[in-house]
Amino acid sequence: MDDFKIQACQARVRSNKEDAKNIFRLELEGCKMGIAKPGQFVCLAPLDHSSAMARPFSIFFYDMFAGFLVIYYKAVGKNTELMKSLQAGQSIKLWGPLGNGISSDGIPRLPGDLHKDIPVPEGVAAWLICGGMGFASLNLAIRELNQFFPRSVLFYGGKTKSEMVSLDKDPYRVNQEIIVATEDGTAGYTGLVTDLFVQKILENPGKKILVITCGPKPMMAKVAEICEGQEFDCYVILETIMACGIGVCLGCSIKTTAGMKRICHDGPVFDAKEVIWDEI
């Protein structure tokens, strides 16, 4: 098997459970897809047969040797509502891994790009900032970046505790620091995760930080703005509605400062400096 080729597979559902309010954890087996990098995603064939559109979901956890994949989904529309009724043993078609993804040195690169990781200057920390469902993209990143950024931190923001998953209890997490923020104060810091980010910057003057963020657009735009002010490198994981998911239909194209880009192929991880937020 080509380790970087997109593979289609007929995955079997191992379990499908609500893990937080309206957020479901889907465990799948039989997915031999080769290497998957943080930030990459898979497309699930629609269960709603009136739609031909692929449904993209971030890879939360993947064991390539066992072909075991975990995704999280929020029930927001027709297809994700149908996904709730998937039972253990049922099959679902998916293909992946898709998109560029992040290498161990924190830089997004296309799969198969034979590069040497750029040495990370001593003392640089990786701070991963997610809001809402953005945690699903960053779990793999916090595992992978561990090698180059031994003290990386995951900031996880949400409206309220009941709408957030317990990442600290996940069997597939590595022992990295997770700091939670809720808007209503039901867990962790009270307020927006971006305010918590600013507070932590102020508590760590002069610290060099590489930032990766995923979540609602206003949150990512704010993180990018803060990073620009601090001269931190910042990568954002963008989402949009997709059709093919493999770079063919141009349906996910966006205007960037570096020209037109397809989120499914050139992204979903972009240098924040490339992103024109009004165009997303």
Binding site for ligand FES (CB under 6 A): 242-245, 247-252, 262, 264
Q: Least distance to ligand FAD from the beta carbon of 168, Å?
A: 19
Comparing CB distances to ligand FES, the nearer of 93 and 143 is 93
Comparing CB distances to ligand FES, the nearer of 223 and 244 is 244
Amino acid at 24: F
Phi, psi for residue 193 in degrees, rounded to 5: -65, -25
Residue 251 contacts which entry, ligand FAD, ligand FES, none (Cβ below 5-8 A, type-dependent)? ligand FES
Residue 262 contacts which entry, ligand FAD, ligand FES, none (Cβ below 5-8 A, type-dependent)? ligand FES
3-state secondary structure 74-143: ECCCHHHHHHCCCCCCCEEEEEEEECCCECCCCCECCCCCCCCCCCCCCCCEEEEEEEHHHHHHHHHHHH
| Cα–Cα distance measured from residue 45 to residue 131, given in angstroms and rounded to the nearest whole number | 26
Residue 74 contacts which entry, ligand FES, ligand FAD, none (Cβ below 5-8 A, type-dependent)? ligand FAD
Binding residues for ligand FAD (CB under 6 A): 41, 55-58, 71-74, 76-80, 133, 136, 239-242, 268
HSE value, Cβ hemisphere, 13 Å, CA-based, for 138: 28
Residue nearest to ligand FAD (CB): 77
| Cα–Cα distance measured from residue 33 to residue 64, given in angstroms and rounded to the nearest whole number | 7
Comparing CB distances to ligand FAD, the nearer of 139 and 152 is 139
Closest CA to 165 of 174, 178, 176: 178
Residue 260 contacts which entry, ligand FAD, ligand FES, none (Cβ below 5-8 A, type-dependent)? none
Comparing CB distances to ligand FES, the nearer of 191 and 251 is 251
Q: Least distance to ligand FES from the beta carbon of 242, Å?
A: 4
- Hey, how many other C-beta atoms are within 10 angstroms of the C-beta on 222? 21
| Cα–Cα distance measured from residue 239 to residue 131, given in angstroms and rounded to the nearest whole number | 13
Q: Least distance to ligand FAD from the beta carbon of 79, Å?
A: 3
- Residue 37's DSSP bridge partners are none
Comparing CB distances to ligand FAD, the nearer of 133 and 219 is 133
Contact 183, 99 (CB under 8 A): no
Comparing CB distances to ligand FES, the nearer of 110 and 118 is 110
* 226: its two tokens: 């803060």
Residue 240 contacts which entry, ligand FAD, ligand FES, none (Cβ below 5-8 A, type-dependent)? ligand FAD
Q: Least distance to ligand FAD from the beta carbon of 64, Å?
A: 18
Residue 72 contacts which entry, ligand FES, ligand FAD, none (Cβ below 5-8 A, type-dependent)? ligand FAD
